[in-house]
A = this chain, B = another copy of it.
Amino acid sequence: MALSSTRTNASRAAVLAFLGTHGAASRAEIARSLEVSPALVTKLARELLADQLIIELTHSPSRGGRPAQLIGLASHDIGAIGVKVAPDHLTMVEVGIDGEVTHVETRDFEASSPHALATLVTAVSEVVKLSTRRTQLGIGVGIPGSVQEQSEHSVNSTQLGWTNVPLGSALQSATNLPVLIDNNVSALALAESLYGTGRGHDHFLVVTIGSGVGAGIVSHGSIIRGHSGNAGEIGHIPVTTDGPVCNCGATGCLEAAIKEESLVRQARSAGVIGPHDGIGALEVRGAAGDPRAQEVFANAGRLFGRAVAGVVNTLDPEIVIVLGEGAASWPLWAAGFEPAFRPALIPQKRGIQVVVEGWQDDRWAQGAACLILSTPFDDAGVSGKQGHLIRERLTTHAGAPS
């Protein structure tokens, strides 16, 4: 076994990952989805069967031809760890290879503390240790910021106040698992394309609203990261000529105008909520029918709508997915969003579908875990050495108990 581990056999891993994310499938279906020849899938399936990594299931009813022989994973006891790093808390999840979250854990965290890195490593290590799953493929981390050298170590994030923090190598040496780190919204987009609404769409946009504003861009089936990993920073699209000064230094940024903190400030100074009330109180007011509260959201919706329209015109996605803490109060946003958004699109795009997803807090962390689960599909090998390790774990340790 030690000798044969040199050959990584990328497509073996891809087949396993496909069966995990998609569920049982026929050889023909796998070949079509992974865009390889049926001949290859036959060969791979034979090998994987011999290694007891997959099993043959029932035949599915024929649709005018030979009925398909479904194959599925021999063991679903495979998964990954996902970590969301926020300025004030950590969320860690364990997910199965089918994307389902099986364990959630949230802890307070102070990103600006000098012990932040050590605290994070300890917390993640504990989650790894506590896991009952037989095989963990790796640890995915989503951060509000960018990563130098995709899949490599150092992390930069203005929101966290981190510059060149060697998060990757620290986690890796502590847990002995492969580690991938990426921007949190990009990770979310990845999750949508594997398990969510983005499935089957080659071009879509994930936009998030909440404590910040961001976008994950999927084009031609893969994530757009940009030259320095900063793609998707739609929070700093200029939308007004006045408005508050953003912490990026500019005036009129989308984010400065519509992030939660800003909505709260507007509402407080207008006397809609008390000087110590937060976004929750504002939402309650709006839902209860207070027109001044509703106007705060509607105004944010209008600005957001115009900005997103610009992005849609520029990138031509097939659908737009709205996510984030703020999505919970979308009905309030929508009053301003829809009338601002649609008319500002080019005519061909005015019918574009906008999907608002119910928000669960663990979604970010689940997205981070998808960094791991999606590597086997990464033809270009962007994930480099870590990706290699993940594929190796998948094709080696994922067999049925013998």
Q: Chain A residues in contact with chain B, CB under 8 A?
A: 158, 201-203, 215, 217, 219-220, 222, 224-238, 248-253, 306-307, 309-311, 313-318, 343-349
B315 near A231: Cβ-Cβ < 8 Å: yes
Select the residue from A217, A236, A345 with max chain B CB neighbours within 10 A.
A236
B238 near A317: Cβ-Cβ < 8 Å: no
Which residues in B have their C-beta under 8 angstroms from that of A158?
347
How far, in Å, is A227 (CB) from chain B's closest CB? Answer: 4
A317-B227 contact in complex given A309-B238, A344-B238, C-beta closer than 8 Å? yes
> Can you report 19 residue pairs joining A to B where beta carbons are below 8 Å apart?
A201-B227, A203-B226, A219-B226, A220-B225, A226-B315, A230-B348, A230-B349, A231-B316, A232-B314, A233-B314, A233-B346, A235-B313, A237-B313, A238-B306, A238-B344, A248-B346, A249-B347, A252-B344, A314-B314
Task: Give the distance in Å from the alpha carbon of A229 to the alpha carbon of B347 in the complex.
Answer: 14
Which residues in B have their C-beta under 8 angstroms from that of A220?
222, 224-225
Select the residue from A225, A237, A317, A343 with max chain B CB neighbours within 10 A.
A237
Q: Which residue of B lies closest to A229 (CB)?
A: B316
Task: Give the distance in Å from the alpha carbon of A313 to the alpha carbon of B251 in the complex.
Answer: 14
How far, in Å, is A287 (CB) from chain B's closest CB? Answer: 28
Q: How many copies of this chain does the complex contain?
A: 2
Looking at the complex, which one of B238, B251, B316 makes contact with A226 (CB distance below 8 Å)? B316
Q: Which residue of B lies closest to A203 (CB)?
A: B227
Pick the 3 closest A-B CB pairs, nearest first: A226-B316, A237-B310, A203-B227
Which residues in B have their C-beta under 8 angstroms from that of A345?
236, 250
Q: Which residue of B lies closest to A146 (CB)?
A: B348
Which residues in B have their C-beta under 8 angstroms from that of A228?
316, 318, 348-349
Task: Give the distance in Å from the alpha carbon of A347 to the alpha carbon of B315 in the complex.
Answer: 23
Which residues in B have their C-beta under 8 angstroms from that of A344?
236, 238, 250, 252-253
Task: Give the distance in Å from the alpha carbon of A228 to the alpha carbon of B315 in the complex.
Answer: 10
A310-B203 contact in complex given A231-B315, A249-B343, A315-B226, C-beta closer than 8 Å? no
